[in-house]
Chains A and B, each alone.
Chain A
Amino acid sequence: MELDKQEVLRYLGAGGSGQALDRWINQAWGKIVSVARPKYTSRLVTVETQGTAVVLGGARVESQSLAQHLRGCREAFLFACTLGPGVDMLIKRHAVSDMALAPVLQACSAAYIEAYADKAQKGLEEGYARKHGLYLRPRYSPGYGDFPLTSQRFMSAALDMPKKLGVSLTGDCMMVPFKSITAVIGLTQDATQCHIHRCMACTASNCPFRKETHYA
């Protein structure tokens, strides 16, 4: 996995870099790469939109924004990935012994998992979508729009996340390890809506991490 320094700086909220920051980023990236054990899993499900709800492989999810996002899709991938517990332990450990590095590790791991998810998604595109003349919509995760966080329970069960990835949910539907992603990825015959970056689908228009760019 290549280090994308600009992404790391974006997560750090740092407008520019410098020697000291560069050194930290390289050090943190090296540590993350050495402890991360990335894994993903996916499952193809049928999609049926019913007004303000979506039926994913027979299971009904109440979410207008997800229904909107999946409009025109007849299939979708349920997707989950994680960097594993080593990254959590590393960040926690530095929060105790070397706080300055902790946010850099945090930023590096965020950049890492997004890049890993992009790569896995590309694999799904090449391994399945292309063959069927379909395109992948951007990832849409529980917590986006009105897609309820409680849907993590459905994602977890449908993808067998504890067993396949070692990712479990807290009582409040947070994922542990923290550096984990779940998403629904719609499949569509219409390519036009597939290049919008996921940030653009989010209503938090003043989010400091918002990325005003489009997929290449």
Chain B
Amino acid sequence: MTSVVFYFQVHQPPRLKKFSFFDTETDPEKRYFDRKKDERIFHRVAAKCYYPANETILHLIEDTDRKFRVTYSLTGTFMEQMEEYEPELIDSFRDLVKTGAVELLDETYYHSFAALWDMDEFKEQVREHRKKTKELFKYRPTAFRNTEGLFFNELAKVLQKMDYIGAVAEGADRVLAGRSPNHVYTVKGTDFPIIPRNYRLSDDVGFRFANPHWKEYPLTAEKYASWIQAAGGDVVGLFMDYETFGEHMWPVTGIFEFLKALPYKLMERGVDFMTVSEAFAHYKPAGELNYDPAVTWADMDRDLSAWLNNELQWAAFEKIKALKSLVMATKDPRIIKIWRKLQTSDHFYYMSLKYNQDGDIHAYFRNEAFESPYDAYISYMNTLAHFEGHIKKNYGARARQPARKHQ
């Protein structure tokens, strides 16, 4: 029997203001972050996606007597904005969790790439996420999903030590090397299991669903269910942004009707549903996958090139990393929090200069934040420069002390 594992990524970044040297605001949090924009976007996406999609999923779970099962991960920055701007939405997610047919994954609170450069920082951000998930949902995740699907062999060892039973990762061609993505695999050099994302089938919904130039357009639930059945294997990992439903794909595209029909069409074909951890309990690994060099779920390249591919992105990443000791020496939770919010991967994504096939996707996500990659870079770097100056000026004595490892 084939099982479908639906996993939805739920994320909102803390957006930056256009930095001005002539701004008279003295509070760094207020000066750097555009809370008004975050709030405006959150209300819109909540109305277009989160509420209706939650309602649809809840109905499907109840109507199928909990046979329909899904997995989510909510970033910490998302949960924070939800508490602040749409607290009723928390109840909506709680209702889903209460069904028992919904699993929540852990990830980095700040949707960051801390795993790339500092495992202590990474663990700290994961702990913060775990804490927030417990606080809002009284839930302790058992499996993991790293920011933007970023995965590499060493990460499996770290996650294993953190007591996770498995993770989801990208089923990139170069990792699978001709094998089917539709199985549980272990990560090379470990017995840590992962479920690879079936990117073709996932992107059929996530990217191509509403594209009238696509030869399979329009995609019906019937047709899609037949592809999944034909794909075979143990687990078909359909991982996508939750915002696909109603926000990336507007209701007029028929995306909700598609979602409402799909579980029944799959069940008719003998396909069932599992959450991520259930799949690990049920299916044995079919082999070993090598996740070096690192893989992500983005763009055609499935690598880090959306975030760290040009000189601007490298300079920005180096700068945020270099601030760690200065930031930690302040021992001021507000300063540390600002620094972590500046690590959110979206900031780097907006700086991408890739004008190829993926370019339009980049522009789509960037446009609400900045007009151009250069504008994104300018605001980010000016913000970091100001932040550094702010720390040195206000925490002079402490900031000059040798930094101790943050506990």
Q: Are both chains from one complex? A: no
Residues of B bordering A, CB below 8 Å:
none
